[in-house]
């Protein structure tokens, strides 16, 4: 593996570690994030709206220029909603 790939992976892992710590220290973040994602589900700019509201209402900060970890978090939120829909 090249050093740039390893560096990229290390950065992403670091971001995910910080995120997981925040979620574990404040369990309401997960619930708020899913509620926010549900609110904007199906809108054409849903990721942008979700990111803004999560940043404004929780300790999670999603900057305007999304990292791979930010994108992964938004993708996972959509997967949670898809799984939720599949249950009904």
User: What is the mean pLDDT, run by run of 10 residues, along the chain of 88 residues?
Assistant: 86 90 92 97 95 96 92 94 84
Residue 86: predicted pLDDT: 82
pTM of the full predicted structure? 0.84
CA-CA-CA-CA torsion for 63, 65, 67, 68, nearest 10 degrees? 130
Residue 88: predicted pLDDT: 67
Residue 70: predicted pLDDT: 92
CA distances from 45 to 8, 42, 48, 51, 79 (A): 27, 9, 6, 10, 17
Give the domain ranges of the chain: 3-87
- Rg of the Cα trace of the chain? 14
The CA distance from 74 to 70, in Å, is: 6
Q: Which residues of 40-73 are buried (b: 16+ CB within 10 A; e: fewer)?
A: beeeeebbeebbebbeeebebebeeeeeebbeeb
């Amino acid at each position: 593996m090249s050093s740039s790939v390893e560096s990229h992976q290390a950065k992403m892992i670091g971001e995910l570690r910080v995120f997981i710590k925040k979620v574990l220290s404040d369990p309401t973040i997960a619930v708020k994030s899913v509620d926010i994602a549900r609110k904007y589900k199906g809108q054409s700019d849903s990721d942008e709206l979700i990111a803004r509201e999560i940043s404004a209402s929780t300790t999670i900060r999603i900057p305007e220029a999304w990292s791979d970890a930010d994108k992964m978090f938004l993708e996972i939120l959509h997967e949670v909603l898809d799984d939720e829909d599949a249950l009904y």
